[in-house]
Structure 1
Amino acid sequence: MRKRVHIVADDLTGALDSAATFAARGARVRVACRPADLPEALASEAEVIAVATGTRDGPEAEAIQIARQVAGALSGQDGILFKKIDSRLKGHIGAELAELAAPGAPLVVNPAIPKLGRHCLGGAVTGAGVDTPIPIAPRLGRAIAVPDTRSAEDLDAQLPDTLDGAVLVGAAGLAEALATRLWPHPDTPTPAASAPLPLTRPALLAIGSRDPVTGAQLEALQDVPLLPAPNGASPTLPGPAEAPLLVIRMTPGETVIPGAEAGAAFARTIAAAQAHLQPATLFACGGESAAALLADLGIGQLDVLGEALPGVPVSRPASGDTFTLVTKSGGFGAPDTLVKLVKMLASD
């Protein structure tokens, strides 16, 4: 019998993009948007359960406390533990791992995502979006050897013959290797062949990330209405019939305010825009923005359907809301990612 997979990620987009590769191979996948939503997700019939702790950018003491809470919820659950980490090693990786992994548990560590051009060489993360190699072992707080990884085949080869007792620590690349091991014969076509659901207009694209990678993707996007939201504040919205496709982007305001305050304002802005425009497809870029938006919408559980593009998961609220949610981490994707996504958005 195949064991359930438990994924613990420190932000929502990470939970979704690591879980999406399992959904693309036919697994039933549920994501808990917050630790408080995890017990309900564990009670579902999903074969893969992911939880977003929301601890990447907060204080380490809080990250430890939340990781301990998640570890308690997972205690006694039979399955495979996958600690999803940022492929550029941001966040409190070592502190959270110390709470989640039993002392002496064998670790399989690899943050590479070869299909997105991010590799591991000489014990460090290199490649797309990485200006200077980032050593891996210091971020984990323990001596760990990570083999050079240039391809998906390298990741497949790193998985041990038996996964019993092992804790996997990595990003979407290692998640895909695990999904391929557990679901070798996918029941549905892979997302490379087609999007898991028709992505239709009207569509609202909420860009909360200020990462330069996302900035380049926006620059490549032409002939799409874009409304700035200074410090997250709500712009004047067009009528639903006037905006079958609309981008709202958080921008700096005239005064500098804390990032958390701007992010909360932006979440309220997008929640109001979602209610006003009633989009069939809602795209959220940036983990904090996506998490805050779903909290404002009262959505705590997502059923993951697959990927529209590499690193661009597609999901639906488990509550039965009819819109399709598309998410992307701010630091992922080629410059034409948003262009390709917009081309997928068929008219009703």
Structure 2
Amino acid sequence: MHPIAIIADDLTGALDSAAGFAQRGLKTRVVTEIDDFTDALHGGALQVVAVSTGTRDGSLDAALAMLRAITAALGSFDGVIFKKIDSRLKGHIAAEVAQLAQGRALPVLACPAIPRLGRFVQGGAVTGAGVDSPISVAERLGSGLGTAPTIPEARTNADIDAALPDRLDSHIYVGAAGLAEALARRLAPDAPAPARPALPAPLIMAIGSRDPVTLAQVAQLSLRVIAAPDGIVPEFTMAPVTLVQMTAQTLDLDPRVAAAGFSSGIARAIAANAPRSLFMCGGETAQAILTRLGIKRLDLLGEVLPGVPLSRCADTGLTVITKSGGFGAAPLLADMLAMMDQPRGPSTGPHIGPIA
């Protein structure tokens, strides 16, 4: 089997695209550091390695510097390269893909469709759910590739499956979860149905996203919500499920300041309470919390529900669940909590070290 290298511009994207491979039984890891990416990619023990570059919302110069480091880390890698992009084509897509393609005489196949979410590629443009007007894929990829990319029409998973070449290592792939899932189906076509995932309690839910989709999901829960105004997390007593939600209080507060405070508060709460599971909503929220905890490597176990990756910290054993802010139907969080294991006495969660 060809090994897979996934390069994503945010953490939830890395987890979302890698989850389909883990769901089919492939040994899969997500990392956030270049050194860990290099070690995992060339160590031989893993079949799929994804790295989160954290470049979607940063500067172009920072994105190019990071992609140059990624290109160097790939070195003579001869497996399949998949560039995970936002399905609505946000971020420094043209520059990152061009940098990744440098030195590799391979054409690009680009397909940001996610049919299960109602997001398609028609006439070379992204259309469907959450897309106000068609977004040209070729325009967002720019002219820096030399050879024009292949942009298949994609309304169904079968369309994406049919667009894959006979030899997977003959292209560089650029797309979202739909294309990643198609690659996983090709690589492991006879994978058994995944087992029901274990979601051990106690669980902390850290809701940093203010997306209306997430707010509607939280509103359906019959849980006490611990508010974190401006990101300030109060002390609390651990329950089987503890929901902490960042709320806005000061109108002119820099959102980055609030997010930094929220991630610090959640990390302190985890260190103090040792939960067995952690749910994080929002890519920036997840990245910030894991950084505060010193967690740089996650082994993918699959999905709790479609589009909700499940992983385990490679160093501490903490179960980690993530969701992007704008994803999912209103009952999604309630459906997830219905799958929780009930606690069997005091928390025996993994030890998390002190937070700097």
Query: Contact (CA 8 Å) 1:20, 1:304: kept in 2 or not?
Result: yes
Query: Contact (CA 8 Å) 2:108, 2:150: kept in 1 or not?
Result: no
Paired residue secondary structure (1:234): coil
Task: Tell me, in whole angstroms, the C-alpha distance in 2 between the residues paired with 1:273 and 1:128.
Answer: 37
Aligned residue number for residue 115 of structure 1: 116
Task: Tell me, in whole angstroms, the C-alpha distance in 1 between the residues paired with 2:19 and 2:60.
Answer: 28
1:160 aligns with 2:155: no
1:269 aligns with 2:284: no
* Deviations, residues 77-136 of structure 1 (Å, cap 9, x unaligned): 221100000111111111101110136521111011111222112222222222333222
Give the letter for the 1:336 counterpart: P
Task: Tell me, in whole angstroms, the C-alpha distance in 2 between the residues paired with 1:249 and 1:264.
Answer: 14
Post-superposition offset of 1:261 = 2.1
Aligned residue number for residue 286 of structure 2: 290
Aligned residue number for residue 74 of structure 2: 74
Task: Tell me, in whole angstroms, the C-alpha distance in 1 between the residues paired with 2:216 and 2:124.
Answer: 29
* Deviations, residues 293-315 of structure 1 (Å, cap 9, x unaligned): 11111111111000011110000
Task: Tell me, in whole angstroms, the C-alpha distance in 2 between the residues paired with 1:205 and 1:13.
Answer: 15
Matches within 5 A, 1:25-36: 25-36=24-35
* Deviations, residues 185-218 of structure 1 (Å, cap 9, x unaligned): 21x423xxx43x3112211111111222212222
* Farther off after superposition, 321-330 or 35-44: 35-44
Aligned residue number for residue 133 of structure 2: 132
Query: Contact (CA 8 Å) 1:60, 1:92: kept in 2 or not?
Result: yes
1:93 aligns with 2:93: yes
Cα RMSD (Å): 1.6
TM-score, normalised via structure 1 length? 0.92
Aligned residue number for residue 175 of structure 1: 180
Query: Contact (CA 8 Å) 1:34, 1:51: kept in 2 or not?
Result: yes
Post-superposition offset of 1:332 = 1.4
* Deviations, residues 197-243 of structure 1 (Å, cap 9, x unaligned): 3112211111111222212222222x111112122111231x22xx2
Unaligned runs of 5+ in 1: none
Aligned residue number for residue 38 of structure 1: 37
Aligned residue number for residue 83 of structure 1: 83
Post-superposition offset of 1:145 = 5.0
Aligned residue number for residue 150 of structure 1: 155
Unaligned runs of 5+ in 2: 344-356
Aligned residue number for residue 332 of structure 1: 327
Query: Contact (CA 8 Å) 2:87, 2:175: kept in 1 or not?
Result: yes
Residue-pair matches, total: 337
Paired residue secondary structure (2:170): coil
Query: Contact (CA 8 Å) 1:137, 1:145: kept in 2 or not?
Result: no
| Match among 183, 190, 193 for residue 189 of structure 1 | 193
1:56 aligns with 2:56: yes
Give the letter for the 1:113 counterpart: I
Query: Contact (CA 8 Å) 2:55, 2:63: kept in 1 or not?
Result: yes
Query: Contact (CA 8 Å) 1:109, 1:146: kept in 2 or not?
Result: yes
TM-score, normalised via structure 2 length? 0.90
Paired residue secondary structure (1:21): helix
Aligned residue number for residue 251 of structure 1: 247
Task: Tell me, in whole angstroms, the C-alpha distance in 2 between the residues paired with 1:81 and 1:140.
Answer: 16
Go from structure 1 to structure 2 and tell me whether the alpha carbon gap of 1:216 and 1:126 turns closer, same or farther (over 3 Å shift): farther
Task: Tell me, in whole angstroms, the C-alpha distance in 1 between the residues paired with 2:87 and 2:112.
Answer: 5
Task: Tell me, in whole angstroms, the C-alpha distance in 2 between the residues paired with 1:335 and 1:248.
Answer: 18
State the identity as a percent.
Answer: 50
Aligned residue number for residue 307 of structure 1: 303
Post-superposition offset of 1:61 = 1.0
Task: Tell me, in whole angstroms, the C-alpha distance in 2 between the residues paired with 1:205 and 1:18.
Answer: 22
Go from structure 1 to structure 2 and tell me whether the alpha carbon gap of 1:253 and 1:36 turns closer, same or farther (over 3 Å shift): farther
Query: Contact (CA 8 Å) 1:33, 1:302: kept in 2 or not?
Result: no
Aligned residue number for residue 233 of structure 1: 232
Give the letter for the 1:125 counterpart: V
